[in-house]
Amino acid sequence: MPRKNTPDATSADEVFLRRLRRHHDELRWLYMELYDNADMFGELVSQLRRFYDERPDALRALDAEREAQGAWYRSRDLLGMQMYVDNFAGNLKGVEDRLDYLERVGVNYLHLMPFLDTPADRSRSDGGYAVSDFRRVKPVLGTMEDLSRLARKCHGRGISLCMDFVMNHTSDEHEWARRARAGEGEYMSRYFFVSDQGVIDRYTRDVPQVFPTTAPGHFTYLPELGQSVMTQFYPYQWDLNYRNPRVFNEMMYNFLYLANQGMDIIRIDAVPYIWKQLGTNCRNLPQVHTIVRMMRMIGEIVCPGIVLLGEVVMAPVEVVPYFGTVEKPECHMLYNVTTMATTWNAVACQDTRLLRGQLEAVCGLPREYTFLNYLRCHDDIGWGLDYATLSTWGMQEVPHKAYLNRYFQGLEPGSTSRGELYNADPVTGDARFCATTASMCGVEAAGFEGDEAAMEVAVRKDVTLHAYLLAQSGLPIVYSGDEVAQVNDYSYKDDPERAEDSRYIHRGRFDWSLVDRADEPGTVQARVFSALRALEAVRRAQEVFDAGAEVTIVDYSDPAVLWIRRRAGEKTLDAVFNFSGEDRTLWMPTRAMYEDLVAGAAAEFQTFELAAWDFRWYLSA
Which residues are tagged catalytic? 269, 311
Residue 579 near residue 560, CB atoms below 8 Å: yes
Residue 338 near residue 382, CB atoms below 8 Å: no
Residue 336 near residue 92, CB atoms below 8 Å: no
Residue 371 near residue 473, CB atoms below 8 Å: yes
φ and ψ at residue 597, rounded to 5 degrees: -65, -25
Sign of CA pseudo-dihedral 143, 149, 153, 156: positive
CA atoms within 13 A on the CB side of 38: 0
CA distances (Å), origin 189, targets 193, 240, 247, 271 = 8, 9, 9, 21
**Exposure string (b/e) for 104-113, b if CB count within 10 Å is 16 or more?**
ebbbbbbbbb
Residue 244 near residue 190, CB atoms below 8 Å: yes
φ and ψ at residue 433, rounded to 5 degrees: -130, 150
Residue 308 near residue 268, CB atoms below 8 Å: yes
CA distances (Å), origin 293, targets 38, 321, 325 = 19, 11, 10
CB atoms within 10 A of CB 246: 17
The gap between the terminal CA atoms of the chain, to the nearest Å, is 57
> Which of these, 371, 354, 358, lies nearest to 312 by C-alpha position?
371
Express the helix, strand and coil content of the chain in percent, nearest 5 each: 45, 20, 35
Cα 184–chain centre separation: 37
